[in-house]
Amino acid sequence: MLIANVSNAWTELGDAGQVVAGAAALLVLITLALAWKQIRMQVRINRFAVYDGLTRLVMDTDRVFIEHPEMRKYFYDGYPPPTDPLELARALAIAELLADFMDHVAEHIDELEDSAWEEWKAYFGEFRQSQVFKSFMDQNPTWYSPRLRTALRPPIPKPAPEYEPGRYPDEAVITRWRRERREKRAALREG
C-alpha cells in the first residue's frame, strides 16, 4: 500500500519530480567528487607526515654519529666491536637505535611510494657489514618485524658472467644467458 502511494505521488509530481530527482543525483555526484578529493588530500597529508617522521628519525641517528664520531667506524667501516665496556655499551645502544629506526621504516613503508622500500633496503644494507649491528640483531631476533629481518638479509649473489679477461661477453654468451633464463622461467611456470 505504501509503495502504491509513493508511486502515485511520484506520478503526480510529473516533471517537477524528475527535476528534483536529477538535482538529487547531481548533488550525490558532487558530494562523491568532493569526498574523493578529500581522500586524495588526506593521503598526501599522511604521506608527508610519514616522510617528516622518517626525516626526523634519520636526523636523530645522524646526530648520534655527530656527537660520537668515534662510533661511526663500527657501523660504516666494518670495525670489530670495541673491547672497552663503556664503548661497547654505547655501540650496542646505537645499534638498537638504528634497528628501532629501521623497524619504524619497515612498518610504515606501505604509506610511501612503491620504489621507496627498495631504496630503504639499500640504505639498511650499509649496516650488514657492521659486526656490532649484526651481533645486536642476532641477540634480539624477535624484537623486530619479519619485514625488517628479511630486508637485512644479504642479497643472493648472481653467478659471475663467463667472459675472457679484458673482453665483454660476446653475443653468443649473452644469447645463451637469455635462453637459459627463458627456460628457467618456463620450468617454474610448469612446475
Per-residue pLDDT reduced to its tens digit, 20-39: 777 888 888 888 888 888 88
User: Do 80 and 131 touch, CB atoms closer than 8 A?
Assistant: yes
pLDDT value of position 95:
93
Cell 650488514 locates to 128
pLDDT value of position 2:
55
Cell 628501532 locates to 100
* Pick from 17-26, 126-135, 138-147, 157-166: least confident: 157-166
Per-residue pLDDT reduced to its tens digit, 35-68: 888 888 887 877 777 777 777 888 888 899 899 9
Kindly list the domain boundaries of the chain, sorted by start residue.
47-152
Mean pLDDT of the chain: 80
In the predicted structure, residue 168 carries a pLDDT above the cut 60: no
Cα 20 to Cα 9: distance, rounded to the nearest angstrom: 13
pLDDT tier, 84 (very low <50, low <70, confident <90, very high otherwise): very high
Angle at which helices 116-125 and 85-108 cross, to 10°: 170
